[in-house]
Each structure stands twice: as structure tokens, then as C-alpha cells.
Amino acid sequence: MNIALPRRHLLGAAALGLSLLSVVRPARAATPIAQEGFRRIGGIEQWVTIHGQDSSRPVLLFLHGGPGNPLSPFAKNIYGTWSRDFVLVQWDQRGAGLSFGKNPAQAQESLTLERMVADGIELTEQLQQQLGPRKVLLMGSSWGSVLGVHMAKRRPDLFVAYVGTAQLVSAQANGKASFTQTLALAEAGGDAGTVAALKAIGPPPHRDPRAFGVLRRAIKAYESKTSAPAPRDWWQAEARYQSAEAQAATEEGEEYSFLQFVGLAGDGMLSKIDLPALGPEYRVPMHFIQGEQDLLTPLVVTRGFVDSIQAPEKSLTVVPLAGHDPNPALIEAQHRLLLRIAQQKSSIAQ
């Protein structure tokens, strides 16, 4: 970094016969990083990609939703420009995407929140070993936001801050608010078909795994009426993820993970989610970005959770014209917040 010297220092340097170049060091050249491959995490091979225009930039680890909906096929379309500011790490979680394809025998095993949290912590430790002993920025969306809160709670020493988007708080609170708000919209709009479908499954908890799909389809329909859409090219997978093998792994992993999430009798990982039970105290900054129109993880539940926790710093950013799924307004708000956190950390370090 070039440093502006007072004029008296420059004159003194000239008197000693020194050139300005000998006083002011040139800027360090950026070293890009681009790595894609399998890493051994939690005893199995899992797919991780690392991209950044400057490897010294803050490391940002994404935790995708679903579970079973990896972001890696679409990451460059959605987040590619962020590589100027961060080292971007995408991870196909256990049971998802290429990680599932590499470990087909996993279809006979159970997914657990405990195991996946441990995987995320192990990956973070690997990143620190590879990229230097610096804390990592952690961002989780939807299902990934559950992993993120658990990781931040368990190992605050590893993270600069946690950023949750479409934050999932608890099976009971989110399920009740989601069902109630969606049904109210259908009734207000005179949508007899959706009202009948929702009343047929009733409010959660549900014992039939198909009930979650009924509610999710209704949510998507109503969010599309009030949220700005994402560009179509966002969801065009990169070439390496378009092979028949990669697509099969993604589809099979999504089906496997969904059933593990909801359970065959409402007894899957979803039923065990209860972040308030972790206690209110967090030792890392906790930030949240919420689409105002989100019906799957409604704002009222997120706000209640944010109000209840204690952290060195916390915030809730509400994004109008945004629902549960990412769109340009939501992505821009995330980027602004992450830049602020990184700049704040940098100024403290200096």
C-alpha cells in the first residue's frame, strides 16, 4: 500500500540522495487463486471450489440451502464479481451435488445436523491452514443458515462474523408463520385451489413428506407476485456441472437430502431445528438479511430471533421486493454488508 509522506520527509530523503522509490514501497501484486476439487472432510471426499482475484482478501465461506441445493454450479453467475473483494469458497455439503455423486453409498446413511456442522468446522480449519491463520466470513442461506449459526456458536474463534440470509430459526416457529401467512394470502386473493390444498395438509408439523412440497409450491407462487425475479442466466449451470453424471448426482442428492430433511414421518432434520435452544449469547458479530416478502422463513420469526440474541454486534437488514430465493436486490444488500464487515475488520487490524 502506497503511503503519502509529508513534504518535509520527502525533502529529507532527497538531501540524503535517496529516491522516492526507496522510501515508498510499491504496491504488492495480487495473487489470484482458482481451485476446484474434492477434499477429505468428515471422512469422505467433498467438493469445494475457491476463487478470488487476490488470495490475500477476506475468505468468505458460503453455506448453501436445501439441504441438497448446492450453489457451486451457479456461483460465478451470481457472485462472480465478488471475487474482486473476497476469496469465495463454495462447498457441496455432504449429501449434495458432486459430494453426493462421489459418495453414492451415502444414500444408505442418515444425514444429521451434528455431522454437517462438524464438516463445516473442519472445512474452515482447512481453509485457515491453506490460506493463512485468519478468521473466515461465514454466510448461510436457508438450511445453510442453521449450519452457520451452530458453527458460529460452537467455534467463534474461527469467524470474523456470521451473516444469515433467509434465516431458518425453528421448525415450530417458522412452520406456523409460513403456513399462516401463505393461507391468509390465498384466502384474501380468493384462490380457492390453494386454500383447499393448504387446508387439506393442515398446519405443521406434518407427518407426510409431500405436505412440505404443497406448501413450498404455494409459497413460490405468492412470492413471485411480490418479489422481483432473478435473471434467468443466474440458473444456467457452468459447463462442468452440465454433464449427465453431474446432473444425476445433483438430482439424486437433492431427493436424498430432501427426504433426510423432512423425514418419512415428519421426523427429519427439520423437526430438530431450534436455534433459541442454543442460548442467547454469541461471541461473534451476528448479521441478518431478510427478504421482506419471504414466506418460507418469514420476517416476523427472524426479527424475533435477532431481538433475542446477544452479540458483539448484530443487525437486521430488510430488503423490499425480495422473497426467500436470491434476487439482485438481495445479493446487492449481502455484498454491501459483507464489504462493511471486511472494511471494519481491516480498520481495526490497522
Over residues 156-171, the pLDDT tens digits come to: 999 999 999 999 999 9
Residue pair 185/226 in contact (Cβ under 8 Å)? The answer is no
Q: Residue 152: what pLDDT?
A: 98
- The gap between the terminal CA atoms of the chain, to the nearest Å, is 12
Residue 26: band (very low, low, confident or very high) from pLDDT cuts 50, 70, 90: low
Within 13 A of 109's CA, how many CA atoms are on the CB side? 12
Q: Would you place residue 21 in the very low, low, confident or very high pLDDT band (cuts 50, 70, 90)?
A: very low
> Which single residue is written with the C-alpha cell 442454543?
278
CB 91 within 8 A of CB 61: yes
User: Among 17-21, 72-76, 254-258, 283-287, which stretch is predicted with the lowest mean pLDDT?
Assistant: 17-21
* Rounded-to-integer distance, Cα 209 and Cα 207, Å: 6
What cell does 125 get? 480449519
Instruction: Look over the chain and give the mean of its residue pLDDT values, rounded to a whole number.
Output: 92
What is the Cα–Cα distance from 15 to 11, expressed in whole angstroms? 6
One-letter amino acid at 119 equals: D
Q: In CATH, what is the architecture of 33-349? A: 3-Layer(aba) Sandwich (3.40)
What pLDDT is attached to residue 349? 58
Are the C-beta atoms of 89 and 70 separated by less than 8 Å?
no
pLDDT of residue 313: 98
Task: Quote the pLDDT of residue 244.
Answer: 96
Residue 22: predicted pLDDT? 35
Cα maximum dimension of the chain: 88
Spatial CA neighbour of 142 closest among 198, 88, 211, 216: 216
**Is the peptide bond between 203 and the residue preceding it cis, with omega within 30 degrees of 0?**
no
* pTM (predicted TM-score): 0.91
Q: For residues 42 and 3, which has the higher predicted lDDT (pLDDT)?
A: 42
Q: Is 214 exposed, middle or buried (0-12, 13-18, 19+ CB in 10 A)?
A: middle
Each residue's pLDDT tens digit, 171-213 = 999 999 999 999 999 999 999 999 999 999 999 999 999 999 9
Of 127, 176, 168, 125, the residue nearest 147 (C-alpha): 168
Q: Give the CA-trace dihedral at 303, 304, 306, 307, to 10 degrees.
A: 110
What would the mean pLDDT of 333-342 be, rounded to a whole number?
98
pLDDT of residue 348: 62
Predicted pLDDT of residue 11: 33
Tell me the pLDDT tens digit for each residue of 77-117: 999 999 999 999 999 999 999 999 999 999 999 999 999 99
- CA nearest 93: which of 74, 65, 73? 65
Domain definitions of the chain by residue range = 33-349
Q: Which pLDDT band, with edges at 50, 70 and 90, does 13 fall under?
A: very low
Indicate the residue type of 95.
G
The three grid cell numbers given for residue 324, joined into one nine-digit string: 426467500
C-alpha cell at 96: 449434495
The pLDDT tens digits for 108-166 are 999 999 999 999 999 999 999 999 999 999 999 999 999 999 999 999 999 999 999 99
